[in-house]
A = this chain, B = another copy of it.
Amino acid sequence: MKLGRVTATGPDGPDTRLVGVLPDEGVVVDLAVAERLRLTRAGADPVAARRIAAALFPPSMAAAIGGGPAFTDAAGRALAEPPDEAVSKLDAVTWATPIDPLVVRDCSAFERHLLNAHARGKKPVPEEFYRAPVYYKMSPATLIPGGTEVPWPFGCRFMDYELEVGLVIGRPALNVRPEDARELLFGVTVMNDFSARDLQAREMSAGLGPAKGKDFATAIGPWIATIDELDPDDLEMIARVNGEEWSRGSTASMMWTIDEIIAYASTTETLTTGELIGTGTVGSGSGLELYKKLQPGDVVELEVAGIGSIANPIGHPPEDGWRPSPKTPSEGKGG
């Protein structure tokens, strides 16, 4: 199945709705509407049908996935026989992010990206990247869907994209071993970890990892492809800028496997339902590696075979902004 979220406006303003997607037919199915109608036809009164359908298909995809088979079975039924009232044209909907995770990690599982990126910085790849599928934590608050303009951070001079696959976790788990990790994977989505390279490099010198260099936009979408319908270990990945191909790769070239990534993420802490883990950038999957920079107005499209594609336009630099005034080191006399 392909499951996503769209925004629809009613009398109380915009609402987020769960949809199943039938790309070949060019339609999406509103899952709560389909379930409400099914329940009514089966004898439920309309008010109760609406209440039960809303509980199965809330605005939060993470909460919905938490329903387990109750959710996926109902979604499957809706997509098998979608009632006309629940169907919309795919090109007429306003996409929201397909998942609303509590935690977002981004790994670095492709050795070629590490080699390319560190070669550009004239530095060796730190040994730790070979010892564990290390990650940094992204902000769940700056996820954007395809179509949304990427805000240009104040002061950024090197805007970049990162071609990744996002792994969506299906249920809580703690200290899972790789051989048991695959059953935690609910599905995959396309992920573009937009990066302000100059800001990122400066702040990474402090050792706390990427922050303002990443915390402005990560695009995900267009929907989640559930794991039963593809092989996540062999997905072709393509990036195009203004229609021109810049990057091409595959999850088949991952140094750390998806199972190892999930197992490592679950170490000492419980994975949460709906959390999102980026694979990291595929080799040559960023402008950094290609000695190319994105410009304001560029459109970056990422496509992953078996899932779909998202395209995001790059915004323009703001004219004004605030920068902290540097502090003077006290050389040992600090408070």
List residues of chain A with CB under 8 Å of any chain B CB: 102-103, 105, 108, 110-112, 114-115, 125-142, 151, 153-154, 175, 177-178, 202-212, 215-216, 252-256, 260, 263-264, 267-270, 272, 275, 283, 321-324, 326-330, 332, 334-335
Q: Which residues of B contact A253 (CB under 8 A)?
A: 334-335
Contact of A131 among B103, B110, B216, B326 (CB under 8 A): B326
Identity of the chain B residue whose Cβ is nearest the Cβ of A320 in the assembled complex? B175
Per the bound structure, the CA–CA distance linking A209 and B151 in Å amounts to 24
Asked if B321 and A175 make an inter-chain contact with CB atoms under 8 angstroms apart, the answer reads yes
Are A102 and B141 in contact (CB-based, < 8 A)?
yes
Contact B136 A209 (CB under 8 A): yes
Q: Which residues of B contact A260 (CB under 8 A)?
A: 324
Is A327 a contact of B269 with CB atoms below 8 Å?
no
Please give me the residue from chain B that is nearest to A128 by CB atom: B206
Known contacts A126-B205, A128-B206, A131-B324; A211/B334 CB under 8 A:
no
The dominant DSSP class at the A interface is loop
Q: A126-B207, A134-B211, A210-B208 are in contact. Are A139 and B269 (CB under 8 A)?
A: yes
What are the 9 A-B residue pairs with the smallest beta carbon separation, nearest first?
A: A209-B209, A111-B334, A253-B335, A136-B208, A128-B206, A153-B268, A137-B137, A112-B334, A216-B268
Report the Cα distance A260→B322, complex, angstroms: 10
| A255-B131 CB under 8 A given contacts A154-B267, A154-B268, A212-B268 | no
Say whether A268 contacts B329, CB under 8 Å.
no
Partner of A321, one of B111, B212, B267: B267
Chain B, Cβ-Cβ closest to A110: B335
Residues of B within 8 A of A216 (CB): 268-269
A111 touching B267 by the CB < 8 A rule?
A: no
Report B-chain residues with C-beta under 8 Å of the C-beta of A268: 151, 153-154, 212, 215-216, 321
13 inter-chain pairs at a CB distance below 8 angstroms, sorted by A residue, are A102-B140, A102-B141, A110-B335, A115-B332, A126-B206, A126-B207, A130-B327, A136-B137, A140-B140, A253-B334, A255-B327, A264-B324, A267-B322
Q: Quick check: A137 and B138 within 8 Å, CB to CB? A: yes
Q: Are B205 and A128 in contact (CB under 8 A)?
A: yes
Instruction: Please give me the residue from chain B that is nearest to A213 by CB atom.
Output: B268
Partner pick for A208 among B141, B177, B209, B263, CB 8 A cutoff: B209
Of A136, A141, A207, chain B has the most CB atoms within 10 Å of the CB of A207
Instruction: Using CB atoms, name the residue of chain B closest to A134.
Output: B206
Q: Specify which of B202, B264, B272 is in contact with A128 (CB 8 Å cutoff).
A: B202
